[in-house]
Amino acid sequence: MFSNFRLSMAWLHTWFGLAMGFVLMVVFFFGTLSVFDREIDRWSIPETRFDAQPMPRFDAILGPAMERLKPHPDDMARTQQRVLGTLPDPSTMPLASFWAYTTHRDPVLRIGGEFSIPNKPKDPADDHLHVHGWTTIDPRNGVEMSDSKLKIGSEWFYPMHYSLQLNWKNLGTWIVGFAALIMMAALVSGVVMHRKVFREFFTFRPKKHTQRSALDLHNLTGVVALPFHFFFAFTGLIIFAGIYLPLSETMLKPLHDRHEILEAAHTGLPHEPAGVPAPLASVDAMIAKAQARWTERDAPGAVGFLRLEHVGDKNGYVSVFRAGTDRVTLTGYGMHFEAATGRLIREDPPPVAAMGVKDFLTGLHLQHFEHWLLRWLYVVGGLLGCVCIATGFIFFVEKRKKQHANSRIPGSRIVDALATATVTGIVIAAVAMLVANRLLPADMDGKGYWEKLVFWGAWLMATTHAFWRSKPVAQARISPAWREQCWVIAMLAVAAVVLNWATTGDHLLRTIGELYWPVAGLDLALLASAGLAVIVARMLKQREHMRVSSIASEHASGNMQVTNHV
């Protein structure tokens, strides 16, 4: 089919990259935003704009919050579909487990738990049936905060980059996983087809014609961030290996269930409740013991995750895990205590080599560590990935659109419209969501639903506009949709900053003066995006004029040749 191996790799790189590039663009863009998802949360929910807080005391704050926790209505509805009979009244459901989680970037505290139910499952294989409850509290005083407001960073942008918000049967996660495999193949084939990789590291000719400039920038960003791109595709597959290869939940489920029981017997952490009521000893004392033990292991630190299992039962135990903000690996040095007495039951041993490597790779991907320079390098790497994919789209169209125009083939026009919707369209959708967040009343019922609706609506409008304005591509010219959507991005980004000032009073002079970077940083990023969008829009306008002049010259030259021939 191909004369040599390099040409076959070029074909694979082109068509694999095009087929999955639209998905990968979404993954890279929202993955980049996810680096600062907690900061975006603070911007979108002004009442959380205070300093990050440590895990609060259990006896004073978490204990009372645990007692007030109720089953969540959404999970009540989901569980009802899985069980026989009607679920009991939520107020009568006993709390079986409780957890609290925080990071060094969280001002508010997320807590949750599982409530026991007597109902039998419709599917006998559907075990571990509980109704879940969760809420958000102010860790300074334990007051419950409104959980109806959408955390745009951690609950929308972050899941978007690995699930596309397509949660039915984990469909989005499967699509992203397949795209990651394709990306790894595209990266390898790209290295094979580009023989002069080192030279391309230093080559960019912005004043050349669009096809040449796009290819230079595609090669440059691909080479510079090649290790970053390959690593994140690989570690993403590792993190979701349990979904892609669910052996323990399918073919090996009986063995998996048996292993849970044997592991509980080995570790001393009861697998099932005893059915005998028992009081809860001081959890704060258990936490103090855990921190003292961490110090003895030369790993002093704060608590990141706390879990109570079999609450109010004789077999209850408390697990305390160390926050991993000072290291890459996610190892939490778990300490497990008997809930009724506070006696240390188990101290997690160091992970075996294979698990240690997995924890390190997972931690490097999720970047929960406290290292701001490295966090910004993640942002740069993610943006380079976005530029690499976008310029790949542009090069594909520029290389073929003249031929497609002469042959009246709509291929380039369709790809260009899809590329516009994917590159500038998702930026419009994201910024429009921030604008809606500031425009909609803070106490509006279902505000998060309307913010999501604005996101999808803005993206749909951008996609429709891209196809509507793509006619010039069929004439071998540049689509004005790129330029026009850049202007929309600029206007929306400035509007978001102004609206944040108008609705909260947190203008840049104030937030920078107070060194409150979560809000100031997002405002500055929006203004920088607006400035960049204006520059790109003007450059595209110049390119359009140059292309029109070039076509006019070609027509004039052709007419002159015909006249001379006659």
pLDDT in tens, 5-21: 677 777 777 778 788 88
No. of helices (H) and no. of strands (E), the chain:
19, 8
Cβ atoms of residues 144 and 136 within 8 Å: yes
Q: How far apart are CA 430 and CA 139, in angstroms?
A: 30
Residue 487 in this model has a pLDDT that exceeds 90: yes
Poorest-confidence range of 180-184, 327-331, 399-403?
Answer: 327-331
Half-sphere exposure of 244 (CA within 13 A, CB side): 16
Q: How far apart are CA 419 and CA 394, in angstroms?
A: 8
pLDDT in tens, 222-263: 878 888 888 889 988 888 888 887 765 666 666 666 766 777
Residue 562 in this model has a pLDDT that exceeds 50: no
pLDDT in tens, 77-87: 999 988 888 99
Q: How far apart are CA 147 and CA 195, in angstroms?
A: 54
Give the DSSP H/E element, type plus range, for residue 367: none
Task: Name the nearest CA neighbour of 21 among 385, 378, 366, 417.
Answer: 385
| Lookup: tokens for 4 | 């040599």
Angle between helices 226-239 and 171-193 (to 10 degrees): 150
pLDDT in tens, 142-184: 988 877 788 999 999 999 999 999 988 889 999 999 999 988 8
Query: Which pLDDT does position 131 carry in this prediction?
Result: 93
Residue 368 in this model has a pLDDT that exceeds 50: yes
Q: How far apart are CA 366 and CA 372, in angstroms?
A: 14
Cβ atoms of residues 523 and 514 within 8 Å: no
Q: Output the average pLDDT for the chain.
A: 86
With residues binned 3-state (H G I as helix, E B as strand, rest as coil), the percentages for the chain, rounded to 5, are 65, 10, 30
Place of tokens 């940083």: 521
**DSSP 3-state assignment of 359?**
helix
Domain boundaries, the chain: 1-45+149-253+371-391, 51-148+254-364, 410-566
pLDDT in tens, 439-480: 999 888 888 899 999 999 999 999 999 999 988 888 878 889
Please report the beta strands in 216-365, taking only residues with DSSP state E, as ranges in sequence order.
303-309, 317-322, 335-338, 344-347
Cβ atoms of residues 496 and 431 within 8 Å: yes
Give the DSSP H/E element, type plus range, for residue 279: none
Strand order in the sheet with 344-347: 144-145, 131-137, 109-115, 95-101, 303-309, 317-322, 335-338, 344-347
Cβ atoms of residues 139 and 102 within 8 Å: yes
Task: Name the nearest CA neighbour of 187 among 20, 312, 360.
Answer: 20
**DSSP 3-state assignment of 414?**
helix
**DSSP 3-state assignment of 113?**
strand
